[in-house]
Amino acid sequence: MLVSENPKIKRALISCSDKLGLVDFAAGLQACGVQILSTGGTRRHLLDHGLECIDVSAYTGFPEMMDGRVKTLHPKVFGGILGRRDNVSDLRSMQEEDISVIDLVVVNLYPFEATVARPDVTPEEAIEQIDIGGPSLIRAAAKNHQWTAVATSPEQYSSILSAVQEDGCTSLALRRKLASEAFSITCSYDQAISNYFQAQTTTEDLPSKLTLTLERKNQLRYGENPHQKAGVYRLAKSTEAGVVNARHLHGKELSYNNILDLDSALGIARSFAQPAVSVIKHNNPCGAATNEDLATAARNALDGDPVSAFGSVLGFNRTIDSATAEVLCEPGRFIEAIIAPDFEAGAVGVLTTKPKWRDNVRLMQVGQLQNQKKTPVAVRFVAGGALIQESDSLPSFHSQWETVTDVPVDEDLWEDIDFAWEMVRHVKSNAIVLARDTSLVGVGAGQMSRVDSVEISIRKAGERCEGSVLASDAFFPFPDSIQAAADAGVVAIIQPGGSRRDNEVIDACNDFGIPMVFTGARHFKH
């Protein structure tokens, strides 16, 4: 039997929840002589725009029922989609049962994810947004892509219509591509439903199975190094305010390392309620500050480690105004990228015209920083699997803190102690930070020995160490670091506690007249 490998598209089934671009697409198909079958709301939408279409119920001889739950689930529909054009038995069955060939299926699914994202959604509303016929139609067409084309997104309409207008048919390569995208759609949809029900029913701390659906947003020039291929992917349907969903206002394209640093910079800034600025270099903070005046916070953050801040990435939790932009453009500064909720027009003007690096600086606008409703899950891949954990977003419970020294904490120091404890969670272990006037003045990060981290943070702080407070992400195993901190002028220490030698460390603090606070919680960041 001689059958064209690219059959002409003569009949299309259209049933869409998202009507974007549908009228123009259907009109274009109809102008090419394509007959249209349609259902319910989609058919009414097309008729309202003057397009002729056959009701699926009229074609099947079976009425739509149960409030639309049953309308396309019929052998005359699925036989027309799944029938193989080069199979004698299939063709005979179609002829005997009066089944017409359906060459194109245009379907997108009920908005389940958008529905369950609403805070007031009820279980009944969620269940009604579980599409049954749609995924079945999509999978049937994708399975039979040797003969049947499937469109699942308005973004695909132009390529399909162009092919039909030019050749009357689609190519096998296009149908195969559409089928691949269709299976990804149904997989993601089913996973969203599964995730919803797991969240509603599980009693476990973590799900027994976790499937992540990621869609590529951009192909990057390379990864951490030029010999590594890389891309940035977005969680399907994600709208979270962050670097992946940010609007790129100005500057060169982002690199792999830029994205990592911008994510860290924003993560630090958004953890503070008051205006905050963070300065990131090689994915560690080299400066950070809070202040009611954003420009002052920016200057203090950049002055935390001016040498390291050269070529850094900055994160803000407030809209950047012109005064703050002027601080960023002061002589001697060089900034790679800036991420913030928004930029005033005047600030954009300053940043893109004044400094020498004006043409290259990346400006990323993320919009309003919402409060996290749930603790996000952090995933790290290891050979053969992955590690899953809740992100370290545990709030500080002051009621559980304990001043363990005989020396009390001066009331004027609590603001710096709070700031230092919040900052230390963002620094790679072993982590030590020094803070003064709610500004980061010294950081010791990623060292194999805690005493090395203490010494590095003291060296970085220099004269500013005098009168600073010290935070450690985990307990001090020996009192040697207390000696070094006291010699440098540290006036208070906050740490988790929990060492077998806690008493020795406490005694050392008492000897030097330094108050020490135990939090009972640690902040390792490997």
Strand 469-472 to 492-495 pairing:
parallel
Residue with tokens 């060089």: 334
Q: Determine contact, residues 433/413, Cβ cutoff 8 Å.
A: no
For residue 257 the two structure tokens come to 């390392």
Rounded Cα–Cα distance for residues 236 and 20 (Å): 19
Backbone angles phi, psi at 15, to 5 degrees: -150, 100
Rounded Cα–Cα distance for residues 274 and 317 (Å): 8
Residue with tokens 């290891």: 382
Is 143 an active-site residue? yes
449: left (phi over 0), alpha (psi -120 to 50) or beta: beta
**Percent helix / strand / coil, the chain, rounded to 5:** 40, 20, 40
Q: Determine contact, residues 423/285, Cβ cutoff 8 Å.
A: yes
Q: Determine contact, residues 241/368, Cβ cutoff 8 Å.
A: yes
Residue 501's nearest CA partner among 521, 482, 484, 487 is: 482
SS3 336: strand
135 half-sphere exposure, CB direction, 13 A CA radius: 17
Which helix (H) or strand (E) covers residue 276, if one does?
Answer: strand 276-281
Three-state SS across 283-298? CEEEEEEECCCHHHHH
Q: How many residues does the chain have?
A: 526
Rounded Cα–Cα distance for residues 500 and 219 (Å): 50
Which helix (H) or strand (E) covers residue 482, if one does?
Answer: helix 480-488
Q: Determine contact, residues 45/52, Cβ cutoff 8 Å.
A: no
Amino acid letter at 24? D
Q: Which position among 19, 282, 354, 525 bears the catalytic label?
A: 282
Is 74 an active-site residue? no
Rounded Cα–Cα distance for residues 472 and 459 (Å): 16
Q: Which position among 10, 143, 248, 252 bears the catalytic label?
A: 143
Q: Determine contact, residues 81/137, Cβ cutoff 8 Å.
A: yes
Q: What is the CA radius of gyration of the chain?
A: 30
Backbone angles phi, psi at 356, to 5 degrees: -65, -30
DSSP 8-state code for residue 436:
E
C-alpha 25: how far from chain center: 32
What is the CA angle 348-318-287, rounded to 5? Answer: 90
Q: Determine contact, residues 410/493, Cβ cutoff 8 Å.
A: no
Active site residues: 143, 282
